[in-house]
Amino acid sequence: MKKFLKILGVVVLIGVFVYTIYYLYAKSQEKPVVYKTEKPLKTDIIKKTVATGSVVPRKEIEIKPQVSGIIDEIYVEAGMKVEKGDKIALVKIIPNMVSLNNAENRLRQAKISLDNAKLDYDRNKELLDKKVIAQADFQQIEVNYRTAEEEYKAAQANLELVKKGETSKNKTQTNRLIRSTIAGMVLDVPVEEGNSVIEANTMNEGTTVASVADMTDLVFEGKVDESEVGKIKEGMNLIMRIGAIEDETFDAVLEYISPKGIEEDGAIQFEIKAAVKLREDQFIRAGYSANADIVLDRRDSVLAISEALLQFDGDSAYVEVQTEPQVFEKRYIETGLSDGINIEILSGIDKDTEMKLWNLTEPTMGGRGGR
């Protein structure tokens, strides 16, 4: 029994020794490096710069009253479409006391003149009928009477205008009615019935009753940094994205670049404007904030690779091409346009070429071009 235990102990010691040697040997061995590979892809390469701004109507008009007073009726609300000449609101005139007093005095004077002219007319008409005076003498008296009549009517109309802003004979032609001066959509009605409004004059720009804009003619207004403004020019295409409208882009054409920059937060910014091209089914609300990608250059459906695959030898670019599994060789390539992520390949490789991702190891399952 003692002999068996001795033999067992020796075997265990030998086993532990052998395992230790094997473990240390295995641990000392470096794992082979396995590189990922990737193939070229067909894609669009777009070189662009970004401008931030907002979308506004090209023509937005503030409708103001022609007379001062109080809003009596409002005929529109925000979102309604109006045509040129449509009614916006009606103003109730609050007459100016000085103008009202002058108009009343003018009417009284006109009435006195008319009464005097009528007496003179009637007296001389009797004399004419009796052939006491000549027709030529009576003619001037008749003219004076007719003139006094017209002056009295004009004074009455003037008093009505001062009081009501319209005359009883011509209520359609009145300054009380505020009408739209363009066709478009009502964006805002900042007043309510009962609000006082002031007409535009030399001392005051007047009260805005409504804002109307043509929502089919929109403009992107943004700003570009001075480092980018030299790369753009009128006529370039923009791809506009609006934060409030997900998964949809809008086309625009650059039509204005400010000749003068403005300093903002320590950087010089230049204002730009671009005409937004809307499809029939697209609608954009005024004031949306937006980002616009200004397309400096583009290549559609070209062979490209990720810039992570590129290596450089002086001014020459190359990739490491797989010739056998995990065996790579250097191959120089000619590159074209880059968007900062992918770069166009002009020559040197084709669509089936496997290239080493030189800074990545341990292949993963799936992924673009992964092996």
Q: What is the CATH number of the domain that holds 89?
A: 2.40.50.100
Instruction: Tell me the residue range of the domain where 267 lies.
Output: 49-57+221-298
What is the DSSP code string of 296-348? EEEEEEEEEEEGGG-EEETTEEEEEEEEETTEEEEEEEEEEEE-SSEEEEEES
Does 80 share its domain with 206? yes
* Residue 14 located in a structural domain: no
- Report the 10 Å Cβ neighbour count for 146: 12
Residue 57 forms beta bridges with which residues?
A: 218
User: Number of folded domains in the chain?
Assistant: 4
The H or E element that residue 122 is part of is helix 97-129
Q: What is the CATH number of the domain that holds 349?
A: 2.40.420.20
Instruction: Give the SS3 label for residue 121.
Output: helix
pLDDT in tens, the chain (371 residues): 666 667 767 677 777 777 777 766 666 655 667 788 888 989 989 888 888 899 999 999 999 998 888 898 999 999 999 999 999 999 888 776 777 788 888 888 988 998 888 888 888 888 888 777 888 878 888 888 899 988 988 888 888 777 766 666 665 557 788 999 999 999 999 999 999 998 888 888 899 999 999 998 999 999 998 888 888 889 988 989 998 888 888 999 999 999 999 998 888 999 999 999 988 778 888 889 999 988 888 888 899 998 888 888 888 899 888 888 888 888 999 999 988 889 999 998 988 888 888 665 554 433 344 43
Does 262 share its domain with 275? yes
Q: Are 268 and 314 in contact (CB under 8 A)?
A: no
Does 231 share its domain with 288? yes
Beta sheet of 69-74, edge-to-edge order: 177-179, 87-93, 69-74, 196-197
Tokens of 149: 């009549």
Q: What is the CATH number of the domain that holds 291?
A: 2.40.30.170
Does 78 share its domain with 196? yes
Domain's final residue, options 251, 272, 298: 298
The pTM (predicted TM-score) of the whole model is 0.60
Dihedral, CA of residue 338, residue 344, residue 346 and residue 347, to nearest 10: 110
